């Protein structure tokens, strides 16, 4: 039986289940990796002056972790650029925040190729390769170019946009064509899958079978909807850990008899944080008697701090919360 190889932008193997992570990917993948003693491959989080492709391999809680360093410029173009200034806002229906530069596109393609070349020596004949999210849409195409015939799956953790929005992306057909080098393309919701199928028939002159297999650009792939969740038992265990109980005691003490409104989100414009702050401000303006009986605690994990839109959001939230 082959191994499960998970590929993602960042590798964040689970250590202490009571410690939170910035994104949902690590929590979502932890159970599968532990069950199958798989391999997790991705960027190390480190940048170097010159790319070498050298792998760093270790074992963490029964999971083999393999990482590779990237050059600072290519990481900027791939991650801060195409992934998070182009695809992320566009896929979240924020064309007003979407930026496109040719260097972003080139950097994205180059890093996907780097990942494929670094991963190739680790792949054995029966392995199943499961690629995560919008950072690595080109990876299957690059692996096929290196004669990898293994089963390749792709899962999109964010929405897939409507056809009329996706076609505003320069070279959108190349992005979708690259996805069809996967054997299976997974989505979070039926709405996202439907939007993808609509693109195939409406913009790519392709076809869709009743069971969701798509054909376009001379390729075919299966599609499916696989709503992702959490390990509920692990979550319950984390809730009664020493760390969690200590945090609960601090919150209760700070409340001083007031009711608490609690928000826990990554600092991102897709989370509606600014609107939440403004709604709370309006609530207190309309009901002054609540000022001594209620307070809002927002926990917001920082992310993508080098992306302008996130810097602007943080500044606006600081302004609203401080007035």
For residue 165, pLDDT over 80 is answered with yes
State the Cα–Cα distance between residues 273 and 303, nearest whole angstrom. 14
Spatial separation of the C-alpha atoms in residues 162 and 198, rounded to whole Å: 8
Strands (DSSP E) found in the chain:
4-10, 39-48, 55-60, 63-71, 128-132, 151-155, 184-187, 207-208, 213-216, 219-225, 259-266, 294-301
CATH number of 4-225: 3.40.50.2000
- The side-by-side arrangement of strands in the sheet containing 39-48 is 55-60, 63-71, 39-48, 4-10, 128-132, 151-155, 184-187, 219-225, 213-216, 207-208
Q: What does the pLDDT look like over 173-221, one tens digit per residue?
A: 999 999 999 999 999 999 999 999 999 999 999 999 999 999 999 999 9
pLDDT for position 22 = 46
Q: Can you give the residue ranges of every domain in the chain?
A: 4-225, 240-322
CB neighbour list of residue 126: distance below 8 Å, 6 or more residues apart:
1, 2, 3, 150
Q: Is the pLDDT higher at 58 or at 19?
A: 58
The residue assigned the tokens 């972790």 is: 65
Q: 164-178, 216-230, 266-280 — which one is most confidently predicted on average?
A: 164-178
Q: What pLDDT was estimated at residue 228?
A: 81
The CATH architecture assigned to 240-322 reads 3-Layer(aba) Sandwich (3.40)
The helix/strand/coil state of 142 is helix
In the predicted structure, residue 97 carries a pLDDT above the cut 80? yes
d(CA 295, CA 251): 11
Residue predicted with more confidence, 314 or 109: 109
- pTM of the full structure: 0.85
Give me the pLDDT at residue 14, please.
Answer: 57
Rounded Cα–Cα distance for residues 271 and 276 (Å): 9
**31 near 311, Cβ under 8 Å?**
no
Least confident residue range of 60-74, 115-129, 155-169, 304-318: 304-318
Backbone angles phi, psi at 10, to 5 degrees: -110, 145
**Average pLDDT of span 151-177:** 97
Question: Does this chain's domain 4-225 share its CATH topology with 240-322?
Answer: yes
Q: Average model confidence (pLDDT) for the chain?
A: 90
Q: What is the pLDDT of residue 24?
A: 57
Residues contacting residue 168 through CB under 8 Å, at least 6 positions apart: 90, 95
Does the structure show a pLDDT above 60 at 260? yes
Alpha-carbon distance 104 to 108, whole Å? Answer: 6
Judge whether 26 and 13 are in contact, CB under 8 Å: yes
Phi/psi at 22 (nearest 5 deg)?
-65, -40
| Residues 75, 115: Cα–Cα separation, whole Å | 12
The more confident residue out of 294 and 255 is 294
């Amino acid at each position: 039986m082959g191994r499960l190889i998970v590929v993602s932008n960042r590798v964040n193997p689970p250590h202490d289940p009571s410690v939170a992570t910035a994104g949902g990917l690590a929590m979502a993948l932890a159970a599968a990796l532990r069950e199958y003693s798989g391999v997790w491959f991705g960027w190390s989080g480190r940048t170097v002056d010159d790319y070498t492709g050298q792998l760093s391999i270790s074992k963490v809680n029964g999971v083999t972790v393999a990482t590779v360093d990237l050059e600072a410029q290519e990481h900027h173009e791939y991650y801060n650029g195409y992934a998070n200034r182009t695809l992320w806002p566009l896929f979240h229906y924020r064309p007003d925040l979407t930026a496109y530069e040719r260097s972003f596109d080139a950097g994205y393609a180059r890093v996907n190729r780097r990942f494929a070349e670094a991963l190739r020596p680790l792949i054995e004949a029966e392995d199943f390769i499961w690629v995560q999210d919008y950072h690595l849409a080109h990876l299957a195409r690059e692996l096929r170019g290196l004669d990898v015939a293994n089963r390749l799956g792709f899962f999109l953790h964010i929405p897939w946009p409507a056809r009329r929005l996706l076609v505003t992306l320069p070279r959108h057909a190349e992005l979708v064509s690259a996805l069809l080098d996967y054997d299976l393309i997974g989505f979070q919701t039926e709405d996202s899958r439907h939007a993808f199928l609509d693109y195939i028939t409406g913009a790519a002159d392709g076809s869709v079978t009743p069971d969701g297999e798509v054909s376009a650009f001379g390729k075919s792939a299966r599609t499916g909807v696989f709503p992702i969740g959490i390990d509920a038992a692990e979550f319950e265990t984390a809730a009664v850990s020493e760390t969690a109980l200590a945090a609960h005691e601090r919150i209760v003490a700070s409340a001083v008899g007031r009711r608490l409104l609690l928000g826990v989100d990554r600092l991102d414009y897709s989370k509606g944080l600014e609107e939440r702050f403004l709604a709370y401000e309006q609530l207190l303006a309309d009901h002054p008697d609540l000022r001594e009986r209620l307070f809002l605690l927002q926990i917001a994990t920082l992310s993508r701090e080098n992306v302008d839109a996130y810097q602007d959001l943080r500044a606006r939230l600081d302004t609203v919360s401080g007035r």
